[in-house]
Amino acid sequence: MENEPVNKIVVTEQTGREALELAAHSYRDLHINPDYSQKSARRTVGVLWFSPSRIGVADEIAATVE
């Protein structure tokens, strides 16, 4: 399951104080369950950088994210 492709990402938009509280909570939560992938257990706010040589990749991601 760790290496399975992600075919759909459901986005939940948070704004205002609730967004700040949820982001802060995700960084304060240091518990890592050894039975789960750390990669999937640590989904936090971030940014994606794309190489200019990979034109069109961002379009594929945008199509996956709803």
pLDDT of 21-44, one tens digit each? 877 777 676 666 677 666 555 555
Distance CA 50, CA 62 (A): 13
Number of Cβ within a 10 Å radius of residue 9? 10
Question: Which pLDDT score, from 0 to 100, does residue 44 have?
Answer: 58
Domain assignment of residue 9, yes or no: no
| 39 falls within a domain | yes
Tell whether 29 is covered by a domain: yes
pTM of this prediction exceeds 0.95: no
Does a structural domain hold residue 33? yes
- In a domain? residue 4: no
CB-based contacts of 37, cutoff 8 Å, min separation 6: 1, 2
- Do 56 and 1 touch, CB atoms closer than 8 A? no
Residue 59 lies in a domain: yes
* Domain contains 6: no
Number of domains in the chain: 1
Range of the domain at 57: 16-64
Instruction: Give a yes or no: residue 8 inside a domain.
Output: no
